[in-house]
């Protein structure tokens, strides 16, 4: 299972890098979103996908799942959600102001 998810992470990173390298602004934004999902999965895998019971005090299970990766991912997901939302709005506002969706044409933009 770990191997499978690691391969999935690799595929997601590939897709994200492809999107990030494209010229269209909206593709870049989607690329960053995919990229952060890839790293969230990686965090999960690196903690180990264990099949224990929920880490509660007072229960008598033989093995417990490590709760830390899940806490980390939850925080990271919230943060990436906020950043993606901000970036989408930023991209939209830039398109409104400049009428450009092309990162090449936006380069070195100084016109006030």
CA distance 35 to 97: 27
The contact set with another protein (CB under 8 A) reads 20, 25, 28, 32, 35-36, 39-40, 42-43, 45-48, 68-69, 72, 75-76, 79, 82-83, 86-87, 90-91, 93-94, 97-98, 103, 106, 109-112
Q: Measured from the CB atom, is 65 or 103 closer to another protein? A: 103
Q: Measured from the CB atom, is 47 or 65 closer to another protein? A: 47
Are the CB atoms for 34 and 19 separated by under 8 Å? Answer: yes
Q: Could you tell me the smallest distance in angstroms from the CB atom of residue 109 to another protein?
A: 4
Count of beta carbons in the 10 Å neighbourhood of residue 69: 19
Q: Could you tell me the smallest distance in angstroms from the CB atom of residue 12 to another protein?
A: 12
Give how far the C-alpha of residue 41 lies from the chain's centroid of Cα atoms, to the nearest Å.
9
CA distance 100 to 78: 29
Q: Measured from the CB atom, is 21 or 61 closer to another protein? A: 21
Q: Report helix, strand or coil for 102.
A: strand
Are the CB atoms for 19 and 27 separated by under 8 Å? Answer: yes
Q: Measured from the CB atom, is 63 or 110 closer to another protein? A: 110
Q: Could you tell me the smallest distance in angstroms from the CB atom of residue 76 to another protein?
A: 6
């Amino acid at each position: 299972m770990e191997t499978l998810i690691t391969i999935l992470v690799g595929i997601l990173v590939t897709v994200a890098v492809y999107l990030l390298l494209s010229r269209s602004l909206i593709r870049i934004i989607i690329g960053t979103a995919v990229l952060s999902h890839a790293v969230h999965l990686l965090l999960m895998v690196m903690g180990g996908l264990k099949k224990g019971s929920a880490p509660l005090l007072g229960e008598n299970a033989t093995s417990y799942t490590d709760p830390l990766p899940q806490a980390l991912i939850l925080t990271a997901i919230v943060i990436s959600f906020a950043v993606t939302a901000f970036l989408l709005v930023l991209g939209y506002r830039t398109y409104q102001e400049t009428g450009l969706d092309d990162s090449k044409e936006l380069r070195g933009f100084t016109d006030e």
